[in-house]
Every structure is written in structure tokens, then in C-alpha cells.
Chain A
Amino acid sequence: MIQKISVLKAPNHGIPYIGYTQYTRFFSEMNPQVPQRRHESNTFTATEQYGDKMLIEIKNETRIFSFAAVGGKAEKNGPLGYAFDYTDESERFSQKTWESAEGSMQKIALSMALGKRNMTEKDIGVLLAGDLMNQCTASCYGLLSFDIPFVGLFGACSTAAEGLALSAIICDQSGSVCAAVTSSHFCSAERQFRFPLEYGGQRTPTSQRTATASGAFITGRTNEGVRIKSVMFGRSVDSKIKDINNMGAAMAPAAADTMLRFFSESGMKPGDFDLIATGDLGAEGYSITKLIMEQNGYDMGEVYDDCGLRLYDRKRQDMHSGASGCGCSASVACTSILPDMLSGKLGRVLFIGTGALMSPTSLQQGEPIASVAHLVYLEG
């Protein structure tokens, strides 16, 4: 049953994210002067069972039942290299430009994920895909050959979790099968966000390497695979960080915010999980997030890890703060987290995609980096 309900309420009562007052050190309180009138007309349609809570429970058993990862050279040489379904050391994926190479990666990843279950595109109801490039070019061009309804997503590096969360909601609602695909390519990202590839520059220790990787997930209502129990979307966070080489610090508040909201709403604690994996915070963001969580009374302990720290051997491969990009969390999920859950090594997992919604234009205009983190609660 669908009914119209008010979701946004005045900040002093019924705020869905009740944890905010605890954010003693880094989070300023939500602006209490916001006129109430602004919210009164602000309603949207949601199903009854979601209520005004921001933790969205997936009622019907929805599972990720197939997935595949594609990677480049550095990913192949990394500690998870053996688990990639396909790698190309030239990183061109038989294409002429880096942009189409990235598109090609998505195509290969989705084809392989379908192939593992002997499925064809006809079995997919909705295709959700996104990447880092302007207008999500890798997704819309790369997946052109799949004749299925397409939804383009932009959540920067959080796209993998965003796609999974939306897939789960669509599957839950409609019963159709969804595919979520995402990618990033070092060369195309470097060209768009930083410098030409051959430019000789030095990277700072806080900088992260955009992973050349793609991951595809297929979700549906089945009893095989990894179950998506609930999802929670993040808030856009003005991180105050203006350093393009310190994305970890820019994303850490968003990651902590989403986790705090999740723990406070679900009543769970970090110890209830076998693994809590953030997307691509790198060494810098990982330690800051851990600190913010500690200050808010959550000891993350041994269960907390970051996908950006798993993809490369940072010392041997000289990767500074670690990996980043949409493909980082997607490929780490496909090569390490999901296989471990299927084999029973991991039971409950929180997968939190973290994205720096970074625009070089806004940065040059003096705006800070905005970030967001989306959470997916998985159970084996």
C-alpha cells in the first residue's frame, strides 16, 4: 500500500537521524533556525512500511546472486588480483580511447556476471550504472549494446553501494531482476580530474589512486547468494576540505555520519558485524573515520576495514593512501567480500560506499568537496 506521508519534519522533532546531537566534535548541529514552513509542503510518496525512518528494510528476500569484476594492471598485481574475473594489462580493453576503455570494462563485467548464471540481458528488468566521468559516459556508451531499461547513477565513488541499494529496493518492490554496474579507470579519471597522463608530477602521501576496475552485481528475489537486509542512503556532507589530494579526509565525515545514523536507528553496534567495509577512504580517511566513530562512542575494533586499503599492496605498489574510484569498492566487493560471504567466512557485513562529489570547476571556484556515503547491510 502506498500513501503520502511527510518525510522531512522540523529539525526539533522526529528527525530521522537522531544521532546528530552526539556529534560533539566535528559535526555542527543542524541549523535550528530553518523555518518550519519550508518543510510543511515537502512531502513525497513512500511505502507505508518505510515510514519516516531512513533505514530502508528490504522485506522480501533479495539477494545478490551473481557478480563479476574486471580490472587493470595494478589491480591484477595487487593482493586481490587472482580473484578478478578478467584483467587487461594494457588497460585499453581493445578500445582506442581511455573513455571507451572504461565503457568496455562495464560491458565485460556485466556480460560475465550474466554468463555465470547462464542469463541474458532479457532476464534483467532494470540496469543501474554509473561512473566518475562527466555525463556518466562510460556507463551509457559502454552499456549501449544491452537493450534494457537503463538508469544512470552519479554518486562518485559511492556508486557501487548506491546501485546495490537502489537495486535492492526495486527488486523488493517489483520482483524484477536488477543489474548494478559501476566502473572507474585511472587514465580517464586522471585526464578529467587532474593532469594529462604523461605529465610529470609528484603525488602527496594523502593522494589515492583511481582504480582501473569495474564491478557488476545482479540482484533478485531468490534464495541463493548474499542477502541485502537493509539499505540506508547518506546525506550530502560539506566536508570543508578543498584539497583534491586528500579525498579520504573529505569523505570520512560522510562515512561516519551514515554509520552513526545506522547504528542509532538499528540499535546495532560494530561488534554485531563480521566486517564493516567503507568504500575508498584510504589510509587517511580510514583513520579519521575510526577516530570520529570513537568520539561518538563506537569502538570499531577489528571488524572495520576499507576497500581502498585492500585493493593494492600500498608499500610494494607505491600507492600512497590507497585506492579510490567507483571501481574500487565494486571490485573489492566482487573479489573479496562477496566470495567470503558465500563461503561462510563472513556472516554480517556493512558495505558503505563513500563518494567525494568532486567537481574540478567548483574546486577552482573555491567550493569545498561535498561527499556522501551509502550503506548496504549484507548477510550471507
Chain B
Amino acid sequence: MKVDEKYEKFASEHAAKSPLGKDCFFAFTVGGFICVLGQAFSDIYTLLGVNEETVKALVPVSLIFLSVLLTGIGVFDKIAKFAGAGTLVPITGFANAVAAPAIDNKAEGYVMGLGAKIFIIAGPVIMYGILASVIYGGIYYIAGLIPI
């Protein structure tokens, strides 16, 4: 049996709305805090005399380590529940998206379970990120060939 086309519109208007103000407040503060944490890592490593290039790599690695740890002990999703995009958008969200399926799909084996499913959420980010970078690289390379 079919329902009137109008129904979908009615249902989405009827649907309880996400509390945008509250969501944005937590996204802003948690997201901002994670970035501050990243900056703090960066400053500490620089103070310790690590060279600039290494610091650039170490900052995301540190944040990824923390996120994976919090994911493992089952705390990350509790924070994310109210932080929303605040934990999703920083590199922490990427790390969680890699760690969560790894932990969850171990039951299906190390190769097709953990190994394959580890990319189920983060895969698209890498895929389209690399695609975009290659397209940009192509343009950048061709632009560089044209003598100014």
C-alpha cells in the first residue's frame, strides 16, 4: 500500500527538532577545547626542542592516541553524545571512526573483520581526501609548467 506523497513532508515537519542552541554550544566549546589541547601539545613539543616538521606530525598523533584510548575504554562515545560535531570534526573524530570498527569487528576475525571493517567510516574521508589532493596536484603541476 502506498502513502500519500505529502506524508514525508508532514513527518519531517512533525518530527521533534534537535536542540540546535544546546548542540552548537557543546560543539563550539568541546571542539574549541580539543584545538586548544592540540596547540598546547604543539607548544610543549616545541619547548622540548623538537623540530618544527616533527611537531606538525606529533600533534595529530598525540590527539589520535588520546581518542583511541578513550574509545577503547568506552568514554569517547559518552563525550560525543553531547559534543556532537565538537568531537567529530577535529582529528579525534577520525581516530574514533578508525578505532570503533576495529574493536567492534574483531569478533569476525583479524582479516575480514578488523582488517576490512576498520575503514568502514574513515575510508571515505581518506578516499575523497586523496582524490581531491591528486586533482589539485594535477592542476598545480600543470600551472607550474606554464612560464609566467
Contact A240 B5 (CB under 8 A): yes
A195 within 8 A of B: yes
Pick from A25, A198, A246: contact of B77, CB under 8 Å: A198
Pick from A27, A200, A238: contact of B93, CB under 8 Å: A200
Pick from A31, A191, A237, A321: contact of B16, CB under 8 Å: A321
Q: How far is the CA of A75 from the CA of B96 in the complex (A)?
A: 28
Contact B107 A97 (CB under 8 A): yes
Pick from B4, B16, B82, B101: contact of A28, CB under 8 Å: B4
Contact B4 A27 (CB under 8 A): yes
Q: How far is the CA of A240 from the CA of B81 in the complex (A)?
A: 28
Given A25-B4, A240-B3, are A199 and B11 neighbors across the interface (CB < 8 Å)?
A: no
A345 within 8 A of B: no
Given A97-B107, A196-B105, A200-B79, are A249 and B1 neighbors across the interface (CB < 8 Å)?
A: no
Interface residues of B: mostly helix, strand, loop or mixed?
A: helix
Chain B: minimal CB distance from A15 (Å): 12
A283 within 8 A of B: yes
B42 within 8 A of A: no
Within 8 A of B (CB), among A1-42: 25-28, 30-31
Chain A: minimal CB distance from B93 (Å): 7
Within 8 A of B (CB), among A203-257: 203-206, 235-243, 246, 249, 252-253, 257
Q: What A residues does B100 contact at CB under 8 A?
A: 195-200
Pick from B2, B82, B83, B96: contact of A199, CB under 8 Å: B96
Q: How far is the CA of A30 from the CA of B148 in the complex (A)?
A: 69
Q: How far is the CA of A259 from the CA of B49 in the complex (A)?
A: 73
Contact B1 A198 (CB under 8 A): no
Q: How far is the CA of A195 from the CA of B71 in the complex (A)?
A: 14
Closest to B103 in A: A198
Pick from B7, B17, B121: contact of A26, CB under 8 Å: B7
B12 within 8 A of A: yes
Q: What B residues does A240 contact at CB under 8 A?
A: 3-5, 7-8, 11
Pick from B6, B14, B23: contact of A287, CB under 8 Å: B14
Closest to B27 in A: A202
Q: What B residues does A243 contact at CB under 8 A?
A: 12, 15
Q: What B residues does A197 contact at CB under 8 A?
A: 77, 100, 103-104
Interface residues of A (CB under 8 A from B): 25-28, 30-31, 96-98, 191, 195-206, 235-243, 246, 249, 252-253, 257, 283-284, 287-288, 321, 368
For this complex, 22 residue pairs linking A to B, each with C-beta atoms less than 8 Å apart, are A25-B4, A25-B6, A27-B2, A30-B1, A97-B107, A196-B100, A196-B103, A197-B103, A198-B96, A199-B100, A199-B121, A200-B93, A201-B80, A203-B81, A240-B3, A241-B7, A241-B8, A243-B12, A253-B3, A284-B14, A284-B16, A368-B8
Interface residues of B (CB under 8 A from A): 1-8, 10-12, 14-19, 23, 71-72, 74, 76-77, 79-84, 87-88, 93, 96-97, 99-101, 103-105, 107, 117, 120-121
